[in-house]
Amino acid sequence: MEFPFDVDALFPERITVLDQHLRPPARRPGTTTPARVDLQQQIMTIIDELGKASAKAQNLSAPITSASRMQSNRHVVYILKDSSARPAGKGAIIGFIKVGYKKLFVLDDREAHNELEPLCILDFYIHESVQRHGHGRELFQYMLQKERVEPHQLAIDRPSQKLLKFLNKHYNLETTVPQVNNFVIFEGFFAHQHPPARKLPPKRAEGDIKPYSSSDREFLKVAVEPPWPLNRAPRRATPPAHPPPRSSSLGNSPERGPLRPFVPEQELLRSLRLCPPHPTARLLLAADPGGSPAQRRRTSSLPRSEESRY
């Protein structure tokens, strides 16, 4: 890919590494230095054009690589230039590869969920005019050395058929581990993960989910009898043929045990007469002169005709 500015002067090395800041690399001694804003604008133009070319080659509706996306994410882009191609002495860009660490939930060969943050291949493109010349292998190998990873440790975001054939040809990556997202991982991905995988707890079956804590369940096992007369058990109605369904998300709630049969009235009155008065009742009787035992005796000793006066 050619540009109207000097690509060879902008990128002194054959492969240039840029992070989210998109800072121009150090320039060679003795070269003129234009305004820094102009250099960054040139870099942004190159990244935007590479992203468009990659999206077109993969039949994507929109580019997944752009200068604005680079600035808003902690991704790294490796840009490969061709120093031998010097149209008007300005050089050319061969291709690029974009990588970044992402937090993913991936399945292993036993279909267990694993929460990992591997290095991901997010975009990879070599210009059509220079494909099958070893440029892709050169760029990919440089990235592996810089990032210090093995090919089977990578996760690839929506790889094209060309990329899958490339990985199979140069790195013998063929057997994939099926996933439910757009990322592809290969056999051996979990063998040497650094840092180690953080596995999520397995999902509990709906029937095992309890709405109460263990202490609540122990408490509800003991039926608490309400005071009289609330403990008089009503006549039970005939249970419906089809009881209403319970919520499957909460499981079966514990049921109270049957209440004891209510005490006969004569036996209850006898037990109440034998019970000593409550201390509070004694205080109330002492505070009420009309309710004292002496007053009641005086009242009861009057003749019936005298009682009617009061």
Residues flagged as binding site: 124-137, 160-169
Q: Which residue type does 261 have?
A: P
Query: Which residue positions form the known binding site for acetyl-CoA?
Result: 124-137, 160-169
Asked if residues 79 and 143 have their Cβ atoms less than 8 Å apart, the reply is: no
CA 89/CA 7 separation, integer angstroms: 9
CA 142/CA 137 separation, integer angstroms: 8
First to last CA, the chain: 119
Asked if residues 166 and 136 have their Cβ atoms less than 8 Å apart, the reply is: yes
CA 181/CA 200 separation, integer angstroms: 17
Q: Which of 171, 2, 12 is nearest to 89 (CA)?
A: 2
Asked if residues 167 and 151 have their Cβ atoms less than 8 Å apart, the reply is: yes
Contacts of 94 (CB under 8 A, 6+ apart): 1, 80, 81, 82, 126, 127, 130, 135, 139
Contacts of 299 (CB under 8 A, 6+ apart): 307, 310
CA 102/CA 283 separation, integer angstroms: 75
The tokens for 2 are 């050619």
